[in-house]
C-alpha cells in the first residue's frame, strides 16, 4: 500500500509544483484573460499532466534507492546474493526482458517490489525479511511475480493511465477554480481571477486527485492477478501459492513506502480501505491460483 501512496503523493506534489510555478510566472494567465479558454486549457492539461506522470516514472528507481535504502548488488558478496542474481537473470531471460538491477532493502517484513522506466531499465528489490523468513522456492515465486510486473509493462501502463487522469484532474480543477472565482468576484471591482481562482483550483486538484487514485488503485489490483500468473509460470503454481500463504502468516507486515507498493508482493487491507487498496486480498489471489482461475486480458 505504501508504494502506491508515495507514487500518488509524488505525482500530486509534482502537479501542485507545476500549478504553483505556472501561477507565479503567469504562464497560465492567458487562459483567463477573456473568460476561460477551454481549448488552451485542454492542451495545457494534457501536456503538463503527462509530464507530471512521466517525471514520477523517470525518478522511480532513484526514489526507491533513496527512500527504501535499497542496496544494489553490483558484485555478489555471498552465496545468497549470488543465488538472487542468478534467479533474476534466469527469470528475466525467460520473460524476454533486460536484466534488471537487483537490490536488497532492510525490513523485517517479507516483501519485494519492482520499479523503473521500462522493461529493460528496471529495479527488482527484496527485503531482508523475505530472504530470511521464506523458503527459496517461495522467494523464487515472489521474484517471478516482480519480473512479471516488469515484463507486462505495468510500470509504463500505470504512467500512461496516470497521465490521462492527471489531464482530467488539471482540466476540471481549473474549471472549478474559475467557477469559484467567478462566484466570489465583485462586479464593482471588475475582472481579475486572483487568489479565489488559485485556491479553488488547488483544493479541487487535491480532491479530484483522490478520485484518480481510486481508479489507479483499481487498475493496480487487477494487474496483481496477472503478476501472480506470471510468478506461477516463472516458478510454479504451488510455489506462488505457498509464497502468498507465507505472506498471510506474517503477523505485522511492514508496508512498503508509498510509490513502491503498486508492484510489491504483499497485499492485505481492511474493507474500509478497499477503494484505495493497491492489492486484492491475499485469500482472493490464493483462490485464483488454486483454481487456475487467472485473470487474463
Q: Which residues contact 282 (CB under 8 A, 6 or more apart)?
A: 244, 245, 247, 248, 266, 267, 268
Q: What is the mean pLDDT of residues 182-203?
A: 67
- On whether the CB atoms of residues 133 and 214 are closer than 8 A, the answer is no
Q: Is the pLDDT of residue 15 over 80?
A: no
Could you give the domains of the chain?
2-61+156-213 (no CATH), 78-152+219-290 (3.30.2010.10)
- Residue 191's pLDDT is 44
Q: Is the pLDDT of residue 151 over 90?
A: yes
Q: Which residues contact 286 (CB under 8 A, 6 or more apart)?
A: 241, 244, 245, 248
Q: Is the pTM of this model over 0.95?
A: no
Residue with the bigger pLDDT between 40 and 126: it is 126
**pLDDT classification of 265: cutoffs 50, 70, 90:** low
Q: Is the pLDDT of residue 98 over 90?
A: yes
- Altogether, the residues listed in the chain come to a count of 297
Question: Mean of the per-residue pLDDT values for the chain?
Answer: 82
Q: Which among 146, 224, 259, 283 is annotated as catalytic?
A: 146
Q: How far apart, in Å, are the Cα atoms of 177 and each of 16, 180, 181, 198?
A: 14, 5, 6, 6
Q: Using CA of residue 124, residue 130, residue 132, residue 135, what is the dihedral sign?
A: negative
- Residue 113's pLDDT is 92
Residue with the bigger pLDDT between 234 and 294: it is 234
β-pairing, 121-127 with 112-118? Answer: antiparallel
- On whether the CB atoms of residues 224 and 265 are closer than 8 A, the answer is no
Q: Which residues contact 6 (CB under 8 A, 6 or more apart)?
A: 63, 67, 257, 258, 259, 260, 261
Q: What is the mean pLDDT of residues 72-78?
A: 94
Cell digits of residue 37: 479558454
Q: Is the pLDDT of residue 24 over 70?
A: no
Residue with the bigger pLDDT between 7 and 137: it is 137
138 catalytic? Reply is no
* Percent of the chain residues past pLDDT 70, beyond the cut: 75
Nearest-CA neighbor of 115 among 164, 75, 149?
149
Per DSSP, the residues of 17-58 read HHHHHHHHTTTTGGGGBTB--HHHHHHHHHHHHHHHHHHHHH
Nearest-CA neighbor of 88 among 78, 75, 104, 99?
99
Q: What is the mean pLDDT of residues 257-284?
A: 65
Amino acid at each position: 500500500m505504501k508504494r502506491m501512496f508515495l507514487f500518488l503523493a509524488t505525482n500530486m506534489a509534482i502537479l501542485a509544483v507545476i500549478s504553483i510555478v505556472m501561477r507565479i510566472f503567469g504562464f497560465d494567465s492567458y487562459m483567463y484573460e477573456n473568460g476561460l479558454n477551454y481549448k488552451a486549457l485542454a492542451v495545457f492539461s494534457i501536456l503538463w499532466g503527462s509530464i507530471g506522470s512521466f517525471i514520477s516514472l523517470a525518478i522511480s528507481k532513484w526514489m526507491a534507492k533513496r527512500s527504501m535504502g535499497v542496496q544494489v548488488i553490483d558484485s555478489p558478496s555471498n552465496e545468497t546474493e549470488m543465488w538472487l542474481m542468478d534467479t533474476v537473470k534466469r527469470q528475466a531471460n525467460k520473460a524476454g526482458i533486460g536484466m534488471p538491477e537487483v537490490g536488497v532493502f532492510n525490513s523485517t517484513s517479507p516483501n519485494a517490489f519492482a520499479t523503473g522506466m521500462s522493461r529493460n531499465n528496471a529495479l527488482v528489490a527484496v527485503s531482508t525479511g523475505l530472504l530470511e523468513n521464506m523458503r527459496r522456492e517461495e522467494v523464487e515465486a515472489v521474484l517471478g511475480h516482480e519480473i512479471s510486473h516488469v515484463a507486462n509493462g505495468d510500470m509504463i501502463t500505470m504512467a500512461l493511465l496516470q497521465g490521462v487522469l492527471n489531464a482530467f484532474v488539471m482540466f476540471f480543477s481549473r474549471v472549478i477554480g474559475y467557477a469559484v472565482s467567478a462566484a466570489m468576484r465583485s462586479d464593482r471591482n471588475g475582472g481579475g481571477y486572483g487568489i479565489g481562482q488559485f485556491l479553488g483550483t488547488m483544493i479541487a486538484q487535491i480532491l479530484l486527485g483522490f478520485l484518480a487514485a481510486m481508479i489507479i488503485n483499481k487498475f493496480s489490483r487487477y494487474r496483481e492477478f496477472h503478476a501472480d500468473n506470471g510468478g506461477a509460470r516463472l516458478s510454479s503454481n504451488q510455489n506462488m501459492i505457498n509464497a502468498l500463504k507465507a505472506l498471510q502468516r506474517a503477523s505485522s507486515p511492514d508496508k512498503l513506502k508509498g510509490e513502491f507498493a503498486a508492484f510489491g508482493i504483499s497485499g492485505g487491507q481492511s474493507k474500509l480501505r478497499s477503494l484505495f487498496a493497491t492489492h486484492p486480498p491475499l485469500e482472493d489471489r490464493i483462490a485464483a491460483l488454486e483454481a487456475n482461475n487467472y485473470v487474463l486480458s
